[in-house]
Amino acid sequence: MNSTPTFELTKEFHERFSKAIEVKDVEFIRNSLVSVNHADISVLLDEFSPEQYKYVLGLLDTSIGANIIIDLDEDIREKFLDEFESTEIAGYVEQLETDDGADILYGLPVKQREQVISAMLNEDKAKNIVELLHYDEDVAGGLMAKELIKANLNWTIKQCIEEIRKQAEDVENIYSVYVVDNNDKLIGKVSLKNLIIARDKTKVGDIYDSDIHSVETFMPENEIAAMMRKYDLDAIPVVNLKGQLMGRITNDDIIDVITELAEEERQLMAGIATDVEEDDSIWKLSRARLPWLMIGLGGGSIAAYFIGFFEKEIILIPVMSFFIPLIMATGGNVGIQSSSIIVQSLANRNAFEESMKNRLFKSLLVSIVNGVVLSIAGYFIVFSFDSDSTIAMVVAIALFSVVLLASFMGTITPLILNKFDINPAIASGPFITTANDLLGLLVYFGVASILYQFS
């Protein structure tokens, strides 16, 4: 079996392709992109100016160009589309499914958006895209595509198959046939296998499966992603409040959602307050990072105050200062580990399947095991460093206590934030690290005060 060769973007090819654009070598450009996936072409063209990008697209089939455009990052796409007339954009939009077409129009100014819709020759597609634009981008209505296969429960199998042939012209992937009643209300689905093996005169209503998952048009994208992941769905139908079939969301749309959500979680956990890209302005990148950096600065200032408050103890036993970073680092690391696990489970909706009491108990057992191991290791490390059993005991007890407290904080904080519909990812990273640094210092000097009995 022959397979399509994998496209490899080398420096040499990039330079040769750039030269071809410069000298308008049409034959080389077309031949070099034959059988290359549109996603790979998007990566290649990312390095070129909008004018060069437009020139290359003009040499390719419109359907390929449409898929290349939809693969672009939103910011790049908006700059790129500035080079096009509304009629040109309309030609590309008509090659895409309605959800992708709506994604392109979301990024256009309102006036240009209306011009593109007016320039579309396919009136049905234009009407469907206008309907999608009424919804927010991050809910089911904004994610769904209008293209789908549906059948009335009163149709015979022969009628159904004839309708499928008509409807399938606009549908790229067919996962199943949705069954509706006379009011267009979704009542189930029928597999292609059952349609094939059923007799021509059999009614669809006799073979459909009423066990079907669906989502309402207003459902948030994160809940849709969780449902499709939980039930391992390739596609899910979208209904309105009356239960009428409005569209469907496919797994490729949800992969994009999951990727965006994961990126958002990663940025929040890293202390970046807003969604930013590498090519954003210096001011935007700085503004996104400053809030958590300021929190870290404030936490560090309070930590310095705490250390100053115990100045007398440090003067009497200077070796205590050597182990402050050890206590602070351990508390911060344990807190991040605990909060990250909770944030991940909340994203997977596992938190609703296990009670908070069970989670806290499990977290306690894990932290006890980790605390015992770390405290024993810490005792021998400190004792070998200073041969002072008291300071070694102070560090050991402080490590055990900090592990328990930091683990508790890292577990309970995301759960509480999630309870109040606040993104639990903000509990990780700088927030937990700063909080547990302060907690660790209080525990460390508190234990030292008790064991040394400072006067």
Over residues 152-191, the pLDDT tens digits come to 999 999 998 888 888 777 777 777 899 999 999 999 999 8
User: Are 119 and 40 in a shared domain?
Assistant: yes
In the listed set 236, 264, 292, which residue is the last one of a domain according to the structure? 264
**Residue, of 428 and 187, whose pLDDT is higher:** 187
Q: What is the 3-state secondary structure (H, E, C) of 94-160?
A: CCCCHHHHHHHHHCCCHHHHHHHHHHCCCHHHHHHHHHHHCCCCCEHHHHCECCCCEEECCCEHHHH
Q: What is the pLDDT of residues 25-74, one digit of tens each?
A: 999 999 988 888 888 888 888 778 888 888 999 999 999 999 999 888 77
For residues 121 and 40, membership in a common domain is answered with yes
Q: Return the higher-pLDDT residue of 12 and 431.
A: 12
Residue 352: what pLDDT?
47
Please write the tens of the pLDDT for every residue from 294-310.
Answer: 777 777 787 788 788 77
pTM: 0.66
Q: Which of 220, 237, 264 is the last residue of a domain?
A: 264
140 found inside a domain: no
Residue 419 CB contacts under 8 Å (≥ 6 apart), including other chains: none
Residue-level pLDDT at 351: 46
Instruction: Please tell me the predicted confidence (pLDDT) of residue 276.
Output: 56
Check whether residue 286 and residue 243 sit in a common domain. no
Confidence of residue 347 (pLDDT cuts 50, 70, 90): low
Q: Are residues 73 and 205 in the same domain?
A: no
Q: pLDDT at residue 243 above 90?
A: yes
Count of domains for the chain? 3
Q: Are residues 234 and 292 in the same domain?
A: no
136-149 burial: b if 16+ Cβ within 10 Å, else e = eeebbbbbbbbbbb
Asked whether residue 291 falls in the same domain as residue 406, the answer is yes
Look at residue 142 and tell me if it is in a domain: no
Question: What span, in angstroms and rounded, lies between the C-alpha atoms of 279 and 271?
Answer: 18
| CATH code for the domain in which residue 179 is found | 3.10.580.10
pLDDT: which is higher, 1 or 270? 270
Do 130 and 155 sit in the same domain of this protein? Answer: no
pLDDT-derived band at 455, boundaries 50, 70, 90? very low
Same domain for 350 and 388?
yes
**pLDDT of 290 over the 80 cut:** no
The share of the chain scoring above pLDDT 70, in percent, equals 87
Contacting residues for 245 by C-beta, under 8 A, at least 6 apart? 148, 150, 178, 180, 184, 185, 186, 237, 238, 239
In a domain, 304, yes or no: yes
In a domain, 409, yes or no: yes
439 or 396, greater pLDDT: 396
Kindly state whether residue 405 falls inside one of the protein's structural domains.
yes
Q: What is the pLDDT of residue 285?
A: 66
Where in the sequence is the domain holding 63, given as residue range(s)? 11-134
Q: Is residue 159 part of a domain?
A: yes
Higher pLDDT, 427 or 28: 28
- In three-state secondary structure terms, 299 is helix
Tokens of 306: 């705490």
Mean pLDDT of the chain: 83
> How far is the C-alpha of 290 from the C-alpha of 274, rounded, in Å?
11
365 vs 347, more confident: 365
| 358 and 436 fall within a common domain | yes
- Supply the CATH number for residue 107's domain: 1.25.60.10
Domain presence at residue 379:
yes
Question: What is the per-residue pLDDT for 6?
Answer: 63
Residue 297 shares a structural domain with residue 434: yes
Q: Are residue 344 and residue 313 in the same domain, yes or no?
A: yes
Per-residue pLDDT reduced to its tens digit, 213-225 = 999 999 999 889 8
Instruction: Note whether 104 and 161 are same-domain residues.
Output: no
